[in-house]
Amino acid sequence: MLKKHIYIFLLFLFYAKHTFSQVNLVPNFSFEQRDSCPTIGDQVELSIGWTKYSNSISTPDYWACNPVGLRSVPISYYHNQIDRRSCDAYMGLLTWETNPNSREHIGIQLNQPLTIGQKYFISFYTVMGGTGDGIDFYETPSNNIGVRLSTVAYSNSNPAPIDNFAHLRSTTIITDTVNWIRISGSIVADSAYNYLMLGNFYDDVNTDTLTQTCSTCMNYYSYYFVDDICLSTDSLLCNGGIDLLPCMTSVKENYINNQFVFYPNPSTDFLTIKNDFNAPFHIAIFNSLGQQLYGQQNITSYNLQLDISSYNTGLLFIKITSQNNQLMYKLLKQ
C-alpha cells in the first residue's frame, strides 16, 4: 500500500512538473493584471508590466473591465468584440494607417532572458477590430501583425524599429472580425533576448492591405486586438494549452474559487463538486494535452457528481465559468 501511495505521489509530481513547468516567459500574458481600468486610449501602462514601444503620438489601447464603458470589454466605443477565454482584457494596435509607416507597438520585459541555442515556441491570438459607428466602417485588413524579441527595451522616445523583421508574424491578411486566430511558430534563440514586443514591424512597401469597397468603407487604418501571448520551451502551452489557464484577475478568481469544493483528489471513478454558487455555471474537463473530455452548460445543481472512470490516468483540468468568472481546478485521475 505504501509503495502504491509513493507511486501515485510521484506520478502526480511528474504530471505537475510536465504541465506546470511549461513556464510562459511572458508575464501578465493575457493583460488581466492591472493597476486600474482604462478610461481613454493610450493607457497601455495600466496593464502591469506592459509599456508603449512606439512613438509618442501613437496611441495603442488597453481594453479591460466588464462594466460597460468607453474602454471596457466586450462592448465599448466602436467595437463589439467577444473577449478571449471569457476573461476581460486585451490590447488594440494600429498595424497600418494612411499616414505613412504609422505603427503602434507595445512591449514587456520577459521573466528571464532566452538561452542561446534553445528552441522556443511563440504564439498569440489576434482578431480584426471591426471599427464601425453604425454608419461608416473605418478599417482595412492588413497582414504582418507579429512578435519581435529584443535585447533592449524601447519606449515612446526610442520607438521600436520598422525594418521589415519579426520573429513571428501573420503573412496572410486577416479579415475576420469575429473569431480570434492563433498565430504560432518557433525559433532557436540566437541572442539572450529579454524583451518581447507586439505590432507590425514592416514598412508600408512590405505590408499588404485589402481595400474595402462598400459605400461606407473609409479604409483609414488597420486595427487588431491581441491577447494570450506565449513564449515557452513547451510546444503544448503555446499551441492551445494556454487556453486552459485561468484568468489572472485575482478578484474574480478568489470570488469563484471560494464557492466550489472538489473531492476526492486523487479520484478514480467519481468526482463530487459541491458549491454555493448562486448562478448557472458551465463546466468542461480537459486532459493534459488540452483535449476536451466533457462539457455541460447552465448547471444549477449544488451537488454534482461526475463519472470520470473512463478517462485515462493522469492530470485533468476542470474549468468552470460563469458570468465572466472563471475557475481552473487540477485533478489527478488514478
- In this predicted structure, what is the pLDDT of residue 126? 98
Cα–Cα distances (Å) from 34 to 23, 62, 88, 152, in that order, read 21, 10, 11, 24
pTM more than 0.85: no
148 and 177: one domain?
yes
The CATH number of whichever domain residue 196 belongs to comes to 2.60.120.260
Which domain, by its residues, includes 176? 23-232
Does residue 241 form part of some domain?
Answer: no
- For 32-50, what is each residue's pLDDT tens digit? 888 888 988 999 999 999 9
The residues, ordered by sequence, that sit 6+ positions from 234 with a Cβ below 8 Å of its Cβ are 21, 22, 23, 121, 241
223 and 281: one domain?
no
177 and 276: one domain?
no
Does residue 311 form part of some domain?
Answer: yes
pLDDT for residue 181 is more than 50 = yes
Does residue 250 form part of some domain?
Answer: yes
pLDDT for residue 92 is more than 60 = yes
Domain boundary, last residue among 210, 232, 254: 232
Domain boundary, last residue among 198, 232, 266: 232
At 183, give phi and psi (nearest 5°).
Answer: -105, 125
Decide: helix, strand or coil at residue 99: coil
- In this predicted structure, what is the pLDDT of residue 246? 67
pLDDT for residue 13 is more than 70 = no
pLDDT for residue 8 is more than 60 = no
